Amino acid sequence: MISTYVCPFKPFLSQRPRPVKLISPEAAISPDFPGLVSAIEADATANAQSDIFSFHQYSGIPSVPNDSTRHVWETEDAISGCCSAPYDTSISDAANGVSEWVYDALVTYGTNAWHFWWAWYPDFSANSNSQIYVAGDITKRYFAYGNWSRYVRPGWVRIDVSGSLSGLYGVAAFKNPSNGEFAIGAINNSGSDIRNVTFGVSGANVTGSVTPYVTSGTPIGALGSDGNLSAGSASSNVPASLPVSGGVFTSTVPYGVTTFVGQN
């Protein structure tokens, strides 16, 4: 049985100069999420007070309610099984992790926000297995998540993608409605670079160039070096700036995650 809770402070929070939203209790495992949503929606007061539905992603991604009046947030996830997998700094872990977690949640299932859990840990204990930064050791996950958090910002909206994936796991596109900035994220977990992939921004007057920010399998080294969320990748023959003609550009997509950033 799931019980609902009514917040006595909701009227006060709603009247603040910047109204404060209330997030629902989190479904600890995703199969519990539909029951949580149903229980809240069955209680008129609790339903009116719930601005955001939330769930954890440890056992997959639940079906997201078709409710345009509020957001659905994934609020916690780590390595599948939570801390049981080996600590892994590889690009394979980063590409597959981003594919399975972030892309599927945001794009395939339509959640509105995605949050990692416990990104930093001070030592290499059992609990460090799910982290992205441990005792000064940076993983490729660190840079792969940066492709999303650095270039897909609050207030941006996801836009439709169509056409052939050309061997990519997925392509996601976002834009800033206020100024025409856009970001196209391409996930390549195939094991090798995919060359001559053509991207087009339909109906947009994109000219000039786009910048590809690459997370690939090169040695981690210093922040921002080749293949570590860097502008272009010398090792994969991806220049730091790609020419755009008629809203269309072509690029190699290195094994990993690449975000193409431009402006309409």
Q: Which domain holds residue 232?
A: 157-263
Q: What is the pLDDT of residues 63-122, one digit of tens each?
A: 887 777 789 999 888 654 444 456 678 899 889 878 878 898 999 888 999 988 777 766
Per-residue pLDDT of 9-36, as tens digits, reads 667 677 777 778 888 888 888 888 989 8
Same domain, 141 and 161: no
222 falls within a domain: yes
> Based on the domain organization, do 90 and 187 belong to the same domain?
no
Q: Read off the pTM.
A: 0.86
CATH number, domain of 175, equals 2.60.40.1180
Regarding whether 176 and 100 lie in a shared domain, the answer is no
Does residue 10 belong to any structural domain of this protein?
no
Write the DSSP string, the chain.
-------TTHHHHHTSSSPPP-EEEEESSGGGHHHHHHHHHHSHHHHHH--EEEEE-TT--PPPP--TTSEEEEEE--STTSS-SPP--SHHHHHHHIIIIIIIIIIIS--SEE--S--EESS-SGGGGG-SEETTEE-HHHHHHHHHHTTS-TT-EEE---S--TT-SEEEEEE-TTT-EEEEEEEE-SSS-EEEEEEE-TT----EEEEEEEE-SS---STTSTTEEEESBGGGTB-SSEEEBTTEEEEEE-SEEEEEEEE-
pLDDT per residue over 173-200, tens digit each?
999 999 889 999 999 999 999 999 999 8
Question: Is residue 127 located within the same domain as residue 104?
Answer: yes
On whether residue 2 sits in a domain, the answer given is no
Task: Mark which of 124, 149, 174 sits at the end of a domain.
Answer: 149
Reported as a pLDDT band with limits 50, 70 and 90, residue 128 is low
Q: Are 78 and 200 members of one domain?
A: no
